[in-house]
Chain A
Amino acid sequence: MVQSLPAKSGGARFVGALKSGVNFLGVILLTYLGLLAVTFFIGRVMPIDPVLAIVGDRAPEHVVQRVREELGLNKPLYTQFYIYLKKIATGDFGTSVLTSNPVMTDIKRTFPATIELATLGIIIGAGLGIPLGVWAAVRRGGMVDQIVRVMGLIGYSVPIFWLGLMGLVLFYAKLGWIAGPGRIDVSYEYSVTLVSGFLLLDTARQGQWDAFRNVLSHLILPAGLLGYFSLAYISRMTRSFMLNELAQEYVIAARAKGLSETRIIWRHALRNAMVPLVTVVALSYAGLLEGSVLTETVFAWPGLGLYITNSLQNADMNAVLGGTIVVGSIFIGLNLLSDLLYKLLDPRTRIR
């Protein structure tokens, strides 16, 4: 009996994997280079006087001169770009006009707050969104299906900052159920030592349960808001993917085997739907990070988004660009990661 064996030998497969890996790295590098090129263009080429954009219009003359030297503005463009790249590579994003700190320090300080919020948001979004989407697909046309579609429509149409504002009015001003803007009440602010930067973890680890509850009360609305947007997107995509999978032949075959419907939904259809779904979750997380610029403004949440907008309003170019690079890098990273995850999870394209 003629059997079929995989055509490639072990060595050929390794080379294939290597090629894909190199290709992927090339894509990553090129994309990051593109981002840096764009920010360079925005920061150095577009403004009429880039130095003024960086140091502000009240800086003394010798500072202006020094910065002009540093940037090498008298040198040709590609040299400037090269200098720029070198600085970014070492993490030198320049100094902030507003805080007089190196931008990197500011970023490191504000970053955890954003991550804390976005992570909670995605946990809500995926944790609720995936089951809801599965339910909507399985009971197609039913109540949950309609709810998912309506929630999706609203999620795609409503401005997140406005919804946050209305939420604050309702739950904070009118009902008093939650705490207001900010991460933690001023009364608790100095009793907590920031270790990881994640207030929930820090207060819990230090056993300060009052502070923990307070932090939670501050977190719940913004995280819920982000969670809602993430949920709207994820549940809609889950529903779509599940509907796709449930129409496949292998589901009919699984039914013909006599498997229970529950098993078919979760271990057959969802497992297959997970492949594109993971990328959706990664992209949603990226979207939450991007939207932090708006939500943090509304909730006075001292994260990277607020830092960027404050710097924007104060024409602090270095800070804006630094923040843009960081958020942009994570965004790009998540995009590329989702591509990679897709390839890894689908056994048909896996490099084994």
Chain B
Amino acid sequence: MTRSASSSPGKESLHDWLMSERPHSRRQASLGRAYGAWRTFARNRLAMLGLVIVIALVLVAVFADLLAPYSPYIGDLRTTRLLPPSSAHWFGTDDQGRDILSRIIHGSRITLYVVALVAVLAAPIGLIVGTVAGYAGGWLDAALMRITDIFLAFPRLILALAFVAALGPGIENAVIAIAITSWPPYARIARAETLTIRQADYIAAVRLIGASPWRIVLRHIMPLCVPSVIVRVTLDMAGIILTAAGLGFLGLGAQPPMPEWGALIANGRLYVLDQWWVAAAPGAAIFLVSLAFNLLGDGLRDALDPKGVK
């Protein structure tokens, strides 16, 4: 039993309660495990940095209206056009006189929207396909895996391009396009985990009690696959952000005047050789957020992976 060195009796008992080797309830056990994983995670400073940045992103997106010094849509073409960075405009202004910092702040909402939506769409699809394939076995498994492999071999950006070309540009279409090509890795992971889990005795026990396959898959197998999928989703986030930015850069994502970061770069591209700041800051923002997700994902993987080989 670990002993905490803290002096305050209240803290000591919570830590001990969580790390106890004889949990009294299921909740205590699962909370204890989560706490243990959190401690491993917290030891990784880079991962904590990633977490901080992601939380900052969420906060900035939520409080964008309060944080942005100027309006992201309205600019004065006469006085504030293409101004270099200064104390009044930290990142300068763009060709329509709009403050770039404010545009970036509001653009964080779009980034968060895309990230959340793709995760919410792709991860469940992947989980369901993977667990069903892994549990069912036989021809269903083979068929689902064939489909997964086919989708896995598709180039994400190009297909998203074609998709948006057909449907027309727009943020929702971009999200759907990205989600459609993102689910295969999750299906693979879920299937691999399912194959291991389904041999377990408790699955046989539940089946003996008479649980239907759906119930087994949904209530027993899927929850166990969730941690690995979460890690993979977090690691994929950076790629998704970059793909979405790429689509925005090509004019296929959020449409003007929405300040999507990729579109901001495209906007700045026309003036980049002389007024480089218009394109610089949005790209730095994308870089920062992707980096944060990468660090976060690495940290999660190290914390949740029992083997923990770096």
A residues whose Cβ falls under 8 Å from a Cβ of B:
27, 30-31, 34-35, 38-39, 42-43, 46-47, 53, 153-154, 156-163, 165-166, 168-169, 172-173, 243, 286, 289-291, 293-294, 297-298, 308-309, 312-313, 315, 317, 320-321, 324, 327-328, 331-332, 335-336
Contacts and interface: CB of A to CB of B under 8 A. Distances in A.
A180 to B, nearest CB: 8
Interface in B235-261: 238-239, 242, 245-246, 249-252
B157 A156 contact: no
A161 B158 contact: no
Interface of B: 146-147, 149-159, 161-163, 165-167, 238-239, 242, 245-246, 249-252, 262, 265, 268-269, 272-274, 276, 279-280, 282-283, 286-287, 290-291, 294-295, 309
A201 B294 CA distance: 40
Q: Is the interface of A mostly helix, strand, loop or mixed?
A: helix
A205 to B, nearest CB: 33
Given A324-B162, A328-B159, A309 B154 contact: no
A181 B162 CA distance: 26
B160 to A, nearest CB: 10
B295 A320 contact: no
A225 to B, nearest CB: 13
A159 B167 contact: no
27 contacts: A38-B154, A38-B159, A42-B165, A43-B162, A46-B167, A156-B290, A156-B294, A157-B294, A159-B245, A159-B249, A160-B242, A161-B265, A162-B282, A165-B265, A165-B268, A165-B272, A165-B279, A165-B283, A173-B274, A173-B276, A286-B155, A289-B155, A293-B246, A308-B158, A309-B161, A315-B165, A335-B153
Identify the interface centre among B242, B290, B291: most chain A CB within 10 Å of its CB: B242
Contacts of B246: 159, 161, 293-294
Contacts of A243: 309
A60 B258 CA distance: 36
Given A159-B265, A321-B162, A166 B157 contact: no
Contacts of B166: 42-43, 46-47, 53, 317
B170 to A, nearest CB: 14
B245 A157 contact: no
Contacts of A309: 161, 250
Contacts of B151: 34
B250 A293 contact: yes
Given A294-B246, A336-B153, 19 more contacts: A30-B150, A34-B154, A39-B162, A46-B163, A46-B167, A153-B294, A154-B287, A157-B238, A159-B249, A166-B280, A173-B273, A289-B155, A312-B161, A313-B251, A320-B161, A321-B162, A324-B158, A324-B162, A327-B158
